[in-house]
Chain A
């Protein structure tokens, strides 16, 4: 079971949340001004990293707010969450994490 840190409600069971995809994807501010390639990349292309991933989640059975979550998609490790509009810290190197030598 994923235990997800909602920035407002604290750590809750994954069943309360809905996944919203890669948070690094940014909609071009002026769609009419971008090239077809930029628009295509926004709609279709994903980095899909094997490791730390910043993603959108919706606390639909809680405060019903969207937020950003940094999560390791290989280990399921939670690496911090933040409200939309604020930046997430990059993950600590493994040696610096709590409980790690």
Chain B
């Protein structure tokens, strides 16, 4: 692997950038691996990278049905944060955020992390109270959180409609200044390149069609390129987890739903914070290219379609204009949808399964992107040691049967409400 640096950049400039090597190989699959990860999205690639880096397990393949990072890794709205209330979520996402903070150096790949702050707006006195409560819980868990008054918000985000006559007047907000955004494609590419450099085989355009088991243990996977033996198999296919887990006879506490996002035409820098509002079901940030990137809630019905419908888009745009009337003349450039594994309590599942050597990483709801490094880090630990790390010990498949759900919003087993 050529180390990316100012020197390699200068050296390659002399040859008009025509001699850069490929960032990763496209190898033929071997007949057997110690570990196969199904799904070359951010989570799968991060898992492979940390298996090699932290656990010395390098005989690893990541098998992908399409192209690398072509699923939810490239469909999210790139927000990174750890502003959770419940302890298992708080500690897990904080570990992930800490990994984010060193990720560009660690991978030798610029993931363009921009810690511009994530601001949650409060529109009612009860919401102000609950933000104080969550902020206090975060600080007790060692995570940065700061309550902002109306005046502070008006000063920091001058484009917001701060009128008390607004349909949802802004009464205050909770900000996590270490939160922000990152470049999502770069995360997949950076993990792929770094994992490949440590010997991991990334096999693209190779759908897994079956998971073979013998005597309660996994023995390998059937793929479009034939059977590949494996001692251990990890599933990291968020959106399609139920479908892939069914290949091993498993049924999951998961429903698949579509979440849409959209971007405006690019404009000059005007919004340097991620602004979210739970009350109007909306969040927005400005990308480095100048587009406003925004989204809202799920469409609400089961879907594997990777595209949604107009009512949610209208809702998101209406919410944008309620908060930022000055954007009323912006044209929207494109919309898209990604398929979310909605779990029954809104928290992820990163765990062993009842089948020996088979592990699953699912239930990301719409929080998967920020979890990418942390998820890979604990999933690699779970696979290498055959036991969870303490950071994911609570995120089991069995927690639903045991009554130990982690329901951040208190919605109960209604996946489309988390």
Contacts and interface: CB of A to CB of B under 8 A. Distances in A.
Interface in A51-68: 53, 55
B174 to A, nearest CB: 30
B401 A40 contact: yes
B304 A45 contact: no
Interface string A14-45: 11000101100000000000001100110111
A73 B302 contact: yes
A46 interface: yes
Contact of A45 (B252, B303, B311): B252
B344 interface: yes
Interface stretch (B119-127, B253-261, B364-372, B387-395): B253-261
Contact of A74 (B301, B304, B401, B414): B304
Contacts of A14: 309, 311
A48 B254 contact: yes
Given A22-B255, A47-B242, A55 B309 contact: no
B302 A53 contact: yes
Interface of chain B, main secondary structure = mixed
A73 B242 contact: no
Name which of A15, A44, A75 has the most chain B CB atoms within 10 A of its CB.
Answer: A44
A53 B303 CA distance: 9
A44 B302 contact: no
Name which of A15, A71, A73 has the most chain B CB atoms within 10 A of its CB.
Answer: A73
A45 B253 contact: yes
A50 B252 CA distance: 14
Contacts of B251: 41, 45-47
A92 interface: no
A19 B417 CA distance: 11
Contacts, number: 69
B266 interface: no
A2 interface: yes
Name which of B243, B304, B413 has the most chain A CB atoms within 10 A of its CB.
Answer: B304
Name which of A43, A50, A55, A76 has the most chain B CB atoms within 10 A of its CB.
Answer: A50
B2 interface: no
B252 A19 contact: no
A14 B310 CA distance: 10
Nearest to A53: B302
A1 interface: yes
Contacts of A76: 303, 305
Contacts of A75: 305
B303 A73 contact: yes
Interface in B283-315: 300-305, 309-311
Contacts of B253: 44-46
Name which of B240, B301, B305, B311 has the most chain A CB atoms within 10 A of its CB.
Answer: B301
Contacts of A40: 400-401
B382 interface: no
A97 B302 CA distance: 23
A42 to B, nearest CB: 10
Contacts of B415: 46
Interface of A: 1-2, 14-15, 19, 21-22, 36-37, 40-41, 43-50, 53, 55, 71, 73-76
9 contacts: A2-B301, A21-B414, A21-B416, A36-B401, A44-B400, A46-B253, A48-B256, A50-B243, A74-B305
